[in-house]
């Protein structure tokens, strides 16, 4: 159920019987020469929509802009600073608590959001407001990702290319796949920015001239569908697991004495 499609009288009835909500979050940032800036938030919204339709749990509108300053050198990238991002997400999550929601899954598709969503969840958990957890789609199916693609990458590589191929094929530029590979960083092991155990980079452009990591040339529609369905299934399972927990069991343990 998508919240924003309903009237408030309809939601009064629907929310009364629901304690779990789905919040999709992504980014608007460069994804190489072959994928749209919308890649991350399209993936998050697609998975959240599929899970909401399967489970009936309410889904909020998507947070389209995330913590992306490390992609700022590429035209069009938008970002918010971490403190403002955390405060914004925490604020509207507390809105959900006001309406009776006591557990949330942040369906996240942008690595730059991870730490900040976990911090928001910690705050909400610590004061007993609700149980909110961050879920990153590719971390739910790591073996499948490795099985499907020979040279993966953390950003604008084959796994994200596959997901957009499934969700929004008209926005994918397959004629640029080779350019994405050859002008980017197809093998993470070839990066020269780890020196004596220290990360000597801050921005994506320091590692990849065109912003792509990995090799998208072996993406097919069949692999794309398999990847999406596997991740969506994991999300549904997580939501059902979370909804079945007793709220008290999700809250902080009392002080050890």
pLDDT tens by residue, 61-102: 999 999 999 999 999 999 999 999 999 999 999 999 999 999
Homologous superfamily assigned to 3-248: Creatininase (3.40.50.10310)
Q: Output the pTM of the full model.
A: 0.95
Handedness of CA 221, 234, 140, 22 (dihedral sign): positive
The angle subtended at Cα 28 by Cα 44 and Cα 121, nearest 5°, is 50
Domains of the chain: which residue ranges? Answer: 3-248
pLDDT tens by residue, 142-190: 999 999 999 998 999 999 999 999 999 999 999 999 999 999 988 877 7
Buried b (16+ CB within 10 A) or exposed e, 183-203: bbbbeeeeeeeeeeeeeeeee
Among candidate residues 211, 213, 197, 184, the one with its CA nearest the CA of residue 68: 211
């Amino acid at each position: 159920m998508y919240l924003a499609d309903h009237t408030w009288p309809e939601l009064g009835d629907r929310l009364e019987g629901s304690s779990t909500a789905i919040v999709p979050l992504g980014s608007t940032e460069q994804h190489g020469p072959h994928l749209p800036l919308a890649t991350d938030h399209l993936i998050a919204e697609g998975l959240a929509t599929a899970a909401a339709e399967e489970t009936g749990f309410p889904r909020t509108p998507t947070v389209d802009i995330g913590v992306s300053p490390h992609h700022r050198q590429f035209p069009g990238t938008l970002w918010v600073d971490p403190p403002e991002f955390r405060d914004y997400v925490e604020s509207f999550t507390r809105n959900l608590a006001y309406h009776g929601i006591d557990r949330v899954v942040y369906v996240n598709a942008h690595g730059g959001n991870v730490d900040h969503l976990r911090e928001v969840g910690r705050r909400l958990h610590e004061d007993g407001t609700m149980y909110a957890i961050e879920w990153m789609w590719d971390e739910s199916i790591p073996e499948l990702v490795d099985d499907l693609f020979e040279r993966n990458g953390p950003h604008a590589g084959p796994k994200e290319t596959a997901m957009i191929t499934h969700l929004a094929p008209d926005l994918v530029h397959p004629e640029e796949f080779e350019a994405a590979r050859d002008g980017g960083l197809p093998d993470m092991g070839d990066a020269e920015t780890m020196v004596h155990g220290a990360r000597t980079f801050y921005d994506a452009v320091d590692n990849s001239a065109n912003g792509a990591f990995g090799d998208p040339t072996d993406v097919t529609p069949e692999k794309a569908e398999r990847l999406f369905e596997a991740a969506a299934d994991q999300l549904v399972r997580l939501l059902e697991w979370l909804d079945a927990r007793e709220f008290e069991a999700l809250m902080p343990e009392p002080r050890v004495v």
